[in-house]
Structure 1
Amino acid sequence: MAAYGGPVSDHFNGKWFFNPGGASPRGFLDLARWKLGGNNEGWPNAFPSPFPPDRPPRRVEGKALRVSFVGHATFLIQGAGLNILTDPVWSERASPYSFVGPRRVNPPGIVFDDLPPIDVVLVSHGHYDHLDLETLARLWQRDRPRVIAPLGNDATIRGRDLSIEVTTADWSGVVPLGRDVEVVLEQVHHWTARGLLDRNRALWCGFVLRGLSNGVFFAGDTGFDEGRPFRRIAERHGLLGLALLPIGAYEPRWFMAGQHMNPADAVRGFKLLGAQQALGYHWGTFKLTDEGVGRPLADLAAALATQGVDPTRFVGGRPGLVWSRAAGS
């Protein structure tokens, strides 16, 4: 990943980005302590979804909204005549290598060739389970979508294919998408790297889609960070219709709490947002951390009960799941 060279700001010191007032990612000694800790819960070789692969329509017009879960952090969001993908990963592994690294335990919830024409791709940050260069190159060659990412990630993407056009922006940046829809890059609490020497040389973000139904928030990856990301978004955007929130990759907590929410954190964030509905992702496809493959769903159910939230308002996504809202509802 090439180094970003923009001006110094409250979250960029001229060399790397950081979380203002927040916890820094753990270092290599802590990583070794985690990996030697021996509390890893095994995963099965396959964890099939109960849903068949989705075959989405070519377009969804007007104020209706249709959201299909592909897997991990990939959603197809359709509304206002636009087709938008978040963090698209169709590769078999979330890894720089095709032969080693976290491997899918279920196929994507949409077969790649069944995707409608993609207009916009939102890339939240550079980790391999979110920025999949092979998938981006396939999408670019097929559809020439608008690719939008936070600062510095264009170098990584265009390093794979110089012809890919990437729009980058800082936190709070607004990018019009047409059809009276715009996307806002929002500050969340995370970090990024592609290798050993490029930590935080590019930025990370969540995205709010305004003008799409009642508004959609996609968090990318984030820690709870005392609730600050969710309070900021609620203050800036009001009560959104749909929140897409990560609920996995959270054990051990001493290592992961700063950068990844557990389900209890996600429910607290959902309540702070005041959104009408949430879908949980970032679990059950790639084994990244110690918790078992089904534990996020069980922990989500417990958190919803403990915090008094109707479980129909926060659903853990499985590949092929489709959520929709009619115009005016």
Structure 2
Amino acid sequence: MKRRSLLTAASAATVMTLGGVGYAVHRRGRNPYYRGPTSDHFDGVRFFAPGQVVDKAQVVDKAQVADKTQAADKSLGDVVRWKAERGGTAWPKRYPSPFTADRPPERVLDLRVVLIGHASYLVQVAGRNILIDPVFAARASPVRFAGPKRVNPPGIAMADLPPIDAVLITHNHYDHLDGPSLARIWQAHQPLVVAPLGNDAILRGYDETMHVETRDWGSSVDLGDGVSVHLTPAYHWSARGLNDRRMALWCAFVITSPEGVHYHVGDTGFGDGAIFRDVRTRFGAPRLATLPIGAYEPRWFMQAQHMNPADAVAALDLLGARQALGHHWGTFKLTDEGIEAPAEALDAAMDQAGQPRARFLALRPGQVWES
């Protein structure tokens, strides 16, 4: 395993302590992770989502002129303002799940989903076992002494994982890409690892033998047994430190199988809703959508890259998904809302939409969903 300098690691931990947002240090330079042709979402150095405002200078809406808050890239001044204004709700040191740690079956022919914690899932479908953004670390951080600390244990112990066929990584933030855990999973299971462009360089920094298939938005990977995974856009960003912002791609995933369509988003802003409409147009209404519902306050700072529960309910409506499960809450404190606020706000948003609460569940670690 390659070692980073303590200074670089501590800087990255500081970024995560600031809610996984950080501030932009725009140096043209070279991209240390990826070299490839320019496209409608890559300028030769940095990735971006078409239609997503990344630079505050792009904001022209008169309603935003005074503040220009909707850009994904934040300045150091924005971070200082957030810290100065921060009146967030404190979290308890422990928030144990009411569900006992799951011991999954070795294989499932239909569809079984369990939340490991935060944004980490085990998806068992059509005989394939798939991990999404597996984070088993005590902190969402590159170091053990700083960064957001988990307040409940993983909903599956790593030793209790069934044979893992594939690992899907949505993006490289430390609450989604846990390098040491991935190295252990690789050594134990030798899964196919699928990630967006540029993330292979990061992953192989933890184990140079790891086999990583990187793809661009719009591309697909066959996982076997009639199961495929498709990379689709998200309104988010990436960084492992202070100087590599948006130099590795991020994505959402669509898993297609004989058991239907499963749409998974690690992190995204709602934007204009086009990314959700496009998924429904291309793949049809999903059987299941797993959507983030946390890390959204304050809105002026988080809105461009993190949905709140009302946004997630609006996304569910555009997708037409039969069932939704909510994640990205209740394990790592990244932003200002209280620990139970996302689940409470989700219920309120479903009530407001005239939808049964059971159609969109805020999962807790170890909680299993089976259709």
Q: TM-score range by the shorter chain?
A: over 0.9
- The aligned runs of 1:181-260 (5 Å cut-off) are 181-260=227-306
Structure 2 residue aligned with 1:8: 38
Structure 1 residue aligned with 2:78: 30
Given that 2:155 and 2:366 are in contact with CA atoms closer than 8 Å, whether structure 1 keeps it comes out as yes
- Does 101-110 or 34-43 show the bigger shift? 34-43
**Letter of the aligned partner of 1:245 in structure 2?**
L
Shift of residue 80 of structure 1? 1.1
Structure 2 residue aligned with 1:53: 101
**Letter of the aligned partner of 2:225 in structure 1?**
R
Given that 1:2 and 1:156 are in contact with CA atoms closer than 8 Å, whether structure 2 keeps it comes out as no
**Letter of the aligned partner of 1:4 in structure 2?**
Y
Shift of residue 212 of structure 1? 4.9
- Does 279-288 or 219-228 show the bigger shift? 219-228
Match of 1:44 among 79, 92, 113: 92
- 3-state DSSP class of the match of 1:139? helix
**Letter of the aligned partner of 1:55 in structure 2?**
R
Structure 2 residue aligned with 1:155: 201
- Considering only aligned residues, what root-mean-square deviation do their CA atoms show, in Å? 0.9
**Alpha-carbon distance in 1 for matches of 2:343, 2:278:** 27
Shift of residue 36 of structure 1? 1.4
Structure 2 residue aligned with 1:112: 158
- 3-state DSSP class of the match of 2:41? coil
Shift of residue 10 of structure 1? 0.3
Length, aligned pairs only: 323
Shift of residue 4 of structure 1? 1.2
Match of 1:17 among 33, 39, 47: 47
- 3-state DSSP class of the match of 1:244? strand
1:138-158 superposed Cα distances (whole Å, 9 cap, x missing partner): 100100010000000001001
Unmatched 5+ residue regions in structure 2? 1-30, 55-71
**Alpha-carbon distance in 2 for matches of 1:201, 1:119:** 28
**Alpha-carbon distance in 1 for matches of 2:329, 2:53:** 23
Question: Where do 4+ consecutive residues of structure 1 move more than 3 Å?
Answer: none
1:257-302 superposed Cα distances (whole Å, 9 cap, x missing partner): 0000000000000010000000000000000000010100110011
Given that 1:245 and 1:279 are in contact with CA atoms closer than 8 Å, whether structure 2 keeps it comes out as yes
- 3-state DSSP class of the match of 1:226? coil
Q: Percent identity?
A: 55
Structure 1 residue aligned with 2:318: 272
**Alpha-carbon distance in 1 for matches of 2:367, 2:168:** 20
Shift of residue 23 of structure 1? 2.2
Q: Which TM-score applies when normalising by structure 2?
A: 0.86
Unmatched 5+ residue regions in structure 1? none
Q: Which TM-score applies when normalising by structure 1?
A: 0.97
